[in-house]
Structure 1
Amino acid sequence: MEKLNLLNYIDGEWVGDALEKIEVTDPATGNVIGSVPNGGEDETKQAIEAAHRALPMWSKMTASDRADILRQYFNIILKHKDELAEIMTLENGKPLKESLGEVAYAASFIEWFAEEGKRVYGRIVPGKREDHRIQVIKQPVGVVAAITPWNFPAAMITRKLAPALASGCTFIVKPPEQTPLTALKLMEYAEQAGIPKGVVNVVCGNPESFTNVIMADMRVRKITFTGSTEVGRLLMKKSAEHIKKISLELGGHAPVIVCDDADLDKAVEMIMASKFRNSGQTCVCANRLYVQAGIYDTFVEKMTAEVKKLKYGNGFDSDVEVGPLIDKDGYEKVERQVKDAIEKGAKCLVGGEGQADDQKGTYFFAPTLLANMNEDMEMMHIETFGPIAPIQKYETDEEAIRLANDTPYGLAAYFYTQDVSRGTKIAEGLDYGIVGWNDGIPSTAQAPFGGTKQSGLGREGGKEGIEEYLETKYISLSL
Structure 2
Amino acid sequence: MTTIIPAVNRPQQAVFEARHLIDGTWRTSADEATFDRLSPAHADLVTTAAKGGVAETEAAIAAARKAFDDGRWSRLSGKDRATVLLKVADLIDRDRARIALADTLESGKPIAQATSEIEGASDLWRYAASLARTLSGESHNSLGDDMLGVVLKEPVGVAALITPWNFPFLIVSQKLPFALAAGCTAVIKPSEMTPSSTVILGELLIEAGIPDGVVNIVLGYGDPVGTTLCESADVDMVSFTGSTAVGKAIVSAGAGTLKKVSLELGGKNPQVVFPDCDLDDAADAIVFGVYFNAGECCNSGSRIIVHEDVADALSEKIVALSEKVAFGDPLDPQTKVGAIISDTHFAKIDGYVSAAREAGAEVRLGGEALQVPGLSGRFYAPTVVTNVNSGMAIAREEVFGPVLSVLTFKTIEEAIDLANDAAYGLSAGVWSDDIHTCLAFARRVQAGTVWTNTWMDGFSELPFGGVKQSGLGRELGRYGLEEYLEVKTVTMRIGRSRAPWVA
Q: CA deviation at 1:231?
A: 1.0
Q: 2 CA distance for matches of 1:466 and 1:311?
A: 38
Contact 2:21–2:217 under 8 Å retained in 1: yes
Q: CA deviation at 1:127?
A: 5.4
Instruction: State the SS of the aligned residue for 1:90.
Output: helix
Contact 2:18–2:195 under 8 Å retained in 1: no
Q: CA deviation at 1:444?
A: 2.2
Contact 1:89–1:99 under 8 Å retained in 2: yes
- Kindly provide the amino acid, as one letter, of the partner of residue 14 in structure 2: E
Q: 2 CA distance for matches of 1:111 and 1:268?
A: 34
Alignment of 1:15-94 (within 5 A): 15-16=27-28, 19-55=32-68, 56-94=71-109
Alignment of 1:215-294 (within 5 A): 215-294=230-309
Spell out structure 1 runs of 4+ moving beyond 3 A: none
Contact 2:289–2:302 under 8 Å retained in 1: no
Indicate whether 1:164 and 2:184 are aligned.
Answer: no
Q: 1 CA distance for matches of 2:45 and 2:260?
A: 38
Match of 1:126 in 2: 141
Higher-Rg structure is: 2
Q: CA deviation at 1:218?
A: 2.2
Q: 2 CA distance for matches of 1:468 and 1:446?
A: 15
Q: CA deviation at 1:355?
A: 4.4
Select between 60-69 and 433-442 the one with higher mean Cα deviation.
433-442
Contact 2:29–2:51 under 8 Å retained in 1: no
Select between 175-184 and 316-325 the one with higher mean Cα deviation.
316-325
Indicate whether 1:147 and 2:172 are aligned.
Answer: no
Indicate whether 1:7 and 2:19 are aligned.
Answer: yes
CA deviation profile, 1:431-452 (whole Å, cap 9, x unmatched): 0111111121133211110000
Partner of residue 334 from structure 1, selected from 335, 349, 357: 349
Q: 2 CA distance for matches of 1:61 and 1:322?
A: 44
Indicate whether 1:312 and 2:327 are aligned.
Answer: yes
Q: CA deviation at 1:361?
A: 8.1
Indicate whether 1:422 and 2:408 are aligned.
Answer: no
Q: CA deviation at 1:131?
A: 1.9
Match of 2:497 in 1: none
Alignment of 1:389-428 (within 5 A): 389-428=404-443
Q: CA deviation at 1:190?
A: 1.2
CA deviation profile, 1:162-221 (whole Å, cap 9, x unmatched): 110001101110001100011101111111111111111100013222233323432211
Q: 2 CA distance for matches of 1:339 and 1:211?
A: 34
Alignment of 1:398-477 (within 5 A): 398-477=413-492
CA deviation profile, 1:241-271 (whole Å, cap 9, x unmatched): 1110110111111111111111112111211
Instruction: State the SS of the aligned residue for 1:52.
Output: helix
- Kindly provide the amino acid, as one letter, of the partner of residue 475 in structure 1: V
Partner of residue 123 from structure 2, selected from 108, 115, 118: 108
Q: 1 CA distance for matches of 2:227 and 2:382?
A: 40
Aligned-residue sequence identity (percent) comes to: 36
Q: 1 CA distance for matches of 2:90 and 2:158?
A: 25
Match of 2:10 in 1: none
Q: 1 CA distance for matches of 2:171 and 2:474?
A: 13
Q: 2 CA distance for matches of 1:382 and 1:207?
A: 23
Q: 1 CA distance for matches of 2:301 and 2:143?
A: 53
Instruction: State the SS of the aligned residue for 2:72.
Output: helix
Match of 1:303 in 2: 318
Instruction: State the SS of the aligned residue for 2:102.
Output: helix
Q: 1 CA distance for matches of 2:313 and 2:66?
A: 62
Contact 1:140–1:470 under 8 Å retained in 2: yes
Unmatched 5+ stretches in structure 2: 1-12, 495-503
Q: 2 CA distance for matches of 1:351 and 1:138?
A: 52
Q: 1 CA distance for matches of 2:229 and 2:83?
A: 30
Contact 1:322–1:367 under 8 Å retained in 2: no
User: In 2 relative to 1, CA 133–318 (structure 1 residues): closer, same or farther, beyond 3 Å?
Assistant: closer
Q: CA deviation at 1:317?
A: 2.4
Contact 1:106–1:154 under 8 Å retained in 2: yes
CA deviation profile, 1:103-141 (whole Å, cap 9, x unmatched): 112222111111012121111113544222111111111
Q: CA deviation at 1:356?
A: 8.4
Q: What is the TM-score of this pair, normalised by structure 1?
A: 0.97
- Kindly provide the amino acid, as one letter, of the partner of residue 405 in structure 1: N
User: In 2 relative to 1, CA 154–348 (structure 1 residues): closer, same or farther, beyond 3 Å?
Assistant: same
- Kindly provide the amino acid, as one letter, of the partner of residue 233 in structure 1: K
Q: 2 CA distance for matches of 1:7 and 1:126?
A: 52
Instruction: State the SS of the aligned residue for 1:47.
Output: helix
Q: What is the TM-score of this pair, normalised by structure 2?
A: 0.92
User: In 2 relative to 1, CA 148–301 (structure 1 residues): closer, same or farther, beyond 3 Å?
Assistant: same
Match of 2:501 in 1: none
Contact 2:448–2:466 under 8 Å retained in 1: yes
Q: 2 CA distance for matches of 1:254 and 1:338?
A: 17
Indicate whether 1:375 and 2:390 are aligned.
Answer: yes
- Kindly provide the amino acid, as one letter, of the partner of residue 35 in structure 1: T
- Kindly provide the amino acid, as one letter, of the partner of residue 476 in structure 2: G
CA deviation profile, 1:291-341 (whole Å, cap 9, x unmatched): 111211221121111001123222112332211111122111111111122
Q: CA deviation at 1:17?
A: 6.1
Q: 2 CA distance for matches of 1:138 and 1:318?
A: 45
Q: 2 CA distance for matches of 1:312 and 1:340?
A: 24
Q: 2 CA distance for matches of 1:284 and 1:216?
A: 29
Instruction: State the SS of the aligned residue for 1:190.
Output: helix
